[in-house]
Amino acid sequence: MDSLPRIGLGIDVHRLATGRPCVLGGVPFPEAKAGPVGHSDGDALLHAACDAVLGAAGLDDLGTLFSDRDPAHQGRASAEFCSEVMARVRAAGWRVVSLDAVLETEQPKLAPVRGAMRARLAELFELPVTRVNVKGKTGEKVDAIGRGEALRATVVALLLPL
C-alpha cells in the first residue's frame, strides 16, 4: 500500500415523499413533512459519506455491498452501513481524516441541527467533530430539489494509511 492520502467523492439523490420518516446525517427530523424514499431509511447524507469513504479506500460502492434488492436491508438504519463500511476501510489499511458534506434540500432546514449532524458523522466515521463539515444549500426553486421533490448529498472524504 502506498503512503499517499486518498480522496473519495460520494453523491446520493433521493426523492421525497409525504409521510416518510426523515433521517439525514443520522439525525431524525420528526417535524419534517416529507422524508427520503429508499430501500433502507433513505439517509442520503450517510449514503454519500459511505460512498466517499469506500471510493477513497478503493473498495466497492455502497449499492454493491448493500444491494437494495436484498430484503435484509429493507428499512435498515444507514448508521449500520457506516459501521460496516468503517470495518472494511480499517481492514484495507485506511483511516478517515476528514469529511466535507453538502446537503441540497428545501426542507427540512438544516441550520438548527447542523451541529448534531456534524457530531453524528464524526462519531460514525471515527473523527473529531472539527474534521467534519456539513453545509446546507437550497435548490433556488430549480429542478426537483428546488421544488422540494428531492434532496441531494455530496461528500468528499480524505483518507490516510493506518
**Comparing C-alpha atoms, which of 121, 115, 144, 112 is closest to residue 43?**
121
> Does residue 28 register a pLDDT over 80?
yes
- 6-161 fold: 60s Ribosomal Protein L30; Chain: A; (3.30.1330)
> Does residue 2 register a pLDDT over 90?
no
- What pLDDT score was predicted for residue 1? 61
What is the widest separation between alpha-carbon atoms in the chain?
A: 48
Where is pLDDT greater, at 96 or 40?
96
- Residues with Cβ < 8 Å from 11, sequence gap 6 or more? 48, 51, 152, 153, 154, 155
- What pLDDT score was predicted for residue 125? 98
- What pLDDT score was predicted for residue 113? 94
63 to 15, 87, 126, 155: CA distances (angstroms): 17, 17, 22, 16
Domain boundaries, the chain: 6-161
Q: What is the pTM of this model?
A: 0.95
Exposed (0-12), middle (13-18) or buried (19+): which is 12, by Cβ within 10 Å? Answer: buried
> Does residue 144 register a pLDDT over 70?
yes
> Does residue 115 register a pLDDT over 80?
yes
- pLDDT per residue over 31-88, tens digit each? 999 999 988 899 999 999 999 999 999 999 998 988 777 777 677 889 999 999 999 9
Relative to beta strand 132-137, strand 94-104 is: parallel
Q: Coil, strand or helix: which one is 65?
A: helix
pLDDT more than 90, % of the chain? 85
- What pLDDT score was predicted for residue 3? 85
Where is pLDDT greater, at 3 or 99?
99
What is the average pLDDT score of the chain? Answer: 94
Average pLDDT over residues 139-158: 96
Q: In what order do the strands lie in the sheet with 94-104?
A: 34-36, 6-18, 150-161, 94-104, 132-137
Grid cell locating 18: 409525504
> Does residue 145 register a pLDDT over 70?
yes
